[in-house]
Amino acid sequence: MKRVFLTGASSGIGLAIAKLLVAEGHEVWGTSRNLERLPKTPRLHPIRLDLTDRDSIQEAFNSALAEAGYFDVLINNAGAGHFDPAELLPMETIASQFQILVFGQIQLMQLALRHMQARDKGLIINVSSLASRLPVPFMAAYNGAKAALAAFTMSIQLELGDSRVRIVDLQPANICTEFNQGVIQSAKTESRYDAKIAKTWKIVEHT
pLDDT tens column, 21-38: 999 999 999 999 899 889
Instruction: Indicate which residue of 19, 142, 188, 196 is catalytic.
Output: 142
Mean pLDDT, rounded, for 45-64: 97
Torsion of CA 40, 42, 47, 50, to 10 degrees: -50
Please tell me the distance from the alpha carbon of residue 81 to that of residue 182, in angstroms, as a whole number.
7
Taking residue 143's Cβ as centre, other Cβ atoms within 10 Å add up to 21
Query: Domain limits at 194?
Result: 3-205
Please tell me the distance from the alpha carbon of residue 102 to that of residue 146, in angstroms, as a whole number.
7
Query: Three-state SS for 73?
Result: strand
Looking up residue 150, the CATH number of its domain turns out to be 3.40.50.720
CB 138 within 8 A of CB 83: yes
Q: Which residues pair with 48 in a beta bridge?
A: 32
Per the model's pLDDT, the better-predicted residue between 171 and 160 turns out to be 160
- Which H or E run includes 94? helix 91-98
Active site residue 193: no
Please tell me the distance from the alpha carbon of residue 67 to that of residue 134, in angstroms, as a whole number.
40
pLDDT level of residue 198 (50, 70, 90 thresholds): low
The model carries a pTM of 0.86
Active site residue 188: no
Instruction: Indicate which residue of 2, 19, 146, 199 is catalytic.
Output: 146
Q: What total number of domains does the chain contain?
A: 1
